[in-house]
Structure 1
């Protein structure tokens, strides 16, 4: 049997991209960005000066600190309106010129926190942009904020600006982490720049490998997807094998089975799918039918029949004509005619054409049940849609011959002989029948 259905199904399962990291949870963004403004300010003041750049950061005055603390307490208590009122009052008291650049940066930072908590990403982004636009703020504060700005662009699916913001962050930081490379990779993926996307996610994976850490599952999935898009089947298989080592899941057994098929490694293809099956992972009917197809393709029809039989009995495989046909064909190929018949009977009864009745008649003939063979084939021919009616009539003639209905047998053979593909065999059967009738007459006379 052909594996067309199997390939269509597995392709859809294999090449869906995992959830993007750009869809960052609020709590994760806050954690990454260090959104508690006052503690961030104190940490920035206590941190030694960065050797890459000397900045004369203005002091955070006590009265401003107290107001920021008041706004922060309100924000942490989920009183966002109260927190914003304090900040609005700070701006209104003497205008922006009353605050130095560092104080103003902290005000905007807390504004951003409030907007983000309301999921008002557009205004949160504006507030963060205002933070980094202030001169002489601590370098650490600018670096952290620029990373958050990049994330916010990704949340809004503004991939180009997100990538540009992230590249600016990379320029400023001495120790970019693996997650940043993955975020950049996903931005490039969305921009269809698969080469840069692959470079960055593989950089993140190598950083973890060098430290003896296991890279995250979705990093491997992104790399796997990109390698497949580039047509690199061997690398796709390599990554799937790594995923199975660290994250053994059904989807990876199914995917690697398909990819082994692409590599023409039929035994590995079957083994991977069978591993998932024996572990009870293939809980969907389509997956079990795929397993049966692979067994049939490997000339192991008995196992194919057992898979189909079990799935049809427990209703995990759909009760439809095609699936009963697969089961019946598998049993027949396994020389289990008695088990093949009930499966093909159900397949034929659920079919819209007469083809399966014609095939069922052939199976009846193999089992020496000539009367049922005659009934089935006639039903198939009358229903229509039989692919080779000439073959069906040859079998019908044989069944009539076996029950000694010679006139009907002759008519069936003559009808079959009208198709040149069966003319020779029909003629041979008519000659054989004539000689047999002559022999019977001689015996009767003798």
Structure 2
């Protein structure tokens, strides 16, 4: 385990107190302890440990003498890398009843580390719990606890601990630690808790919107039970927005889905980006890519020429579905303001086949128009088990 020894070194420094501050001890105890102290200061830890052991061999020791000897044994053993001797001495210190509350909390952490170095994870875990019960919540103790849990394979315990840490941070108005969210997602994955893993990934993209976390979240969404294929284009849109649309097939698929949705301007943007990135127009299928580009350019020109007529037809319609459809395609065309207007008009007209889908499109338009507060309000509260709830959360996270 690559765990820093700085924690133990700092803890043991407090144990090596000067003799001028200690209670009087007999000369046959004081002499080897003084020699051990001088050797430790000179960096000769093994020799110091030998002198401390010599002091420990003196008979008839008083409790005060034993306490001083155990302090020195612990300090010298740690510096010498003798974790077994350090653990023995620190356990004696814990049992002495002479450590302050703060010293007990730190020494318990030191014991946990020493036993982890000895590969005695059971005792290390016991001392982690003891340190926590004494009020020790240091970052290094949490790191050690995470290491021990991971090595134990007790992913249920890891999930419980990580979930508690995330919940505590959120309730306190703080951003959860990235490592806690990663531990939570991994533990849920290993225990086949798909819903829990999804929630952890949602929090990762919300609090730490890194490309890799987006890739994991968006990669699992289409595999969600009940996910509707009608949201495939939205998944692609999120991949594009988060830098995760890179493969040739992804550019091809998104362009084709956009065409099927009647959004030729969006399809043109996708194809142009694919060619600019070198994902399209090269390789064995280069001619196929060129044919797709030609089709997209033709459709985009036709739709641009016929937009006024389509708008008039949609405005005259009895329901608002055509306005919503026309509006959401204006997002990909780069006209977010008009997109919001048309979708809002369509929703207001009523008789929408899928009201929540229309709200999802409206939220997208508002985000594109830099109206974050309105978008959050629109996207909040969407319901369904077909993927729309997750998409709404992801669009909100994208707008943060």
Matches within 5 A, 1:9-408: 23-31=2-10, 34-38=11-15, 59=23, 61=25, 75=40, 79-81=42-44, 83-92=45-54, 95-97=57-59, 100-115=65-80, 120=81, 123-134=82-93, 135-139=95-99, 140=101, 141-155=103-117, 158-170=120-132, 173-177=133-137, 179=139, 180=141, 183-263=144-224, 264=227, 265-277=231-243, 287-289=246-248, 291-292=250-251, 295-296=254-255, 298-299=257-258, 302-303=268-269, 305-312=271-278, 324-325=283-284, 328-335=287-294
1:221 CA displacement: 0.5
Aligned length: 276
- Could you list the runs of 5+ residues in structure 1 that have no partner in the other structure? 1-21, 46-57, 339-446
In 1: Cα distance, 2:254 partner to 2:68 partner: 71
Contact 2:105 2:136 in 1 (8 A): no
Alpha-carbon displacement from aligned partner over 1:59-85 (angstroms, at most 9, x marks no partner)? 574977897677567646xx422x443
Contact 1:243 1:252 in 2 (8 A): yes
SS of 1:215's equivalent in the other structure is coil
C-alpha distance 138-203 of structure 1, shift in aligned 2 (>3 A)? farther
C-alpha distance 70-244 of structure 1, shift in aligned 2 (>3 A)? farther
Contact 2:16 2:71 in 1 (8 A): no
Alpha-carbon displacement from aligned partner over 1:118-158 (angstroms, at most 9, x marks no partner)? xx3xx224322332135414344444223222224445655
1:214 CA displacement: 2.5
Alpha-carbon displacement from aligned partner over 1:264-286 (angstroms, at most 9, x marks no partner)? 35344223321222xxxx6xxx9
Contact 1:153 1:159 in 2 (8 A): yes
Alpha-carbon displacement from aligned partner over 1:381-433 (angstroms, at most 9, x marks no partner)? xxxxxxxxxxxxxxxxxxxxxxxxxxxxxxxxxxxxxxxxxxxxxxxxxxxxx
Q: TM (normalized to structure 2)?
A: 0.55
1:252 CA displacement: 1.5
* Greater alpha carbon shift after TM alignment, 144-153 vs 286-295: 286-295
Q: TM (normalized to structure 1)?
A: 0.50
In 1: Cα distance, 2:48 partner to 2:60 partner: 15
Contact 2:84 2:118 in 1 (8 A): no
1:96 CA displacement: 4.7
1:4 corresponds in structure 2 to: none
1:257 CA displacement: 1.6
Contact 2:32 2:54 in 1 (8 A): no
C-alpha distance 250-90 of structure 1, shift in aligned 2 (>3 A)? same
1:328 CA displacement: 4.3
SS of 1:197's equivalent in the other structure is helix
SS of 2:294's equivalent in the other structure is coil
In 2: Cα distance, 1:234 partner to 1:218 partner: 19
In 1: Cα distance, 2:17 partner to 2:214 partner: 46
In 2: Cα distance, 1:113 partner to 1:178 partner: 20
In 2: Cα distance, 1:297 partner to 1:246 partner: 33
Contact 2:55 2:69 in 1 (8 A): no
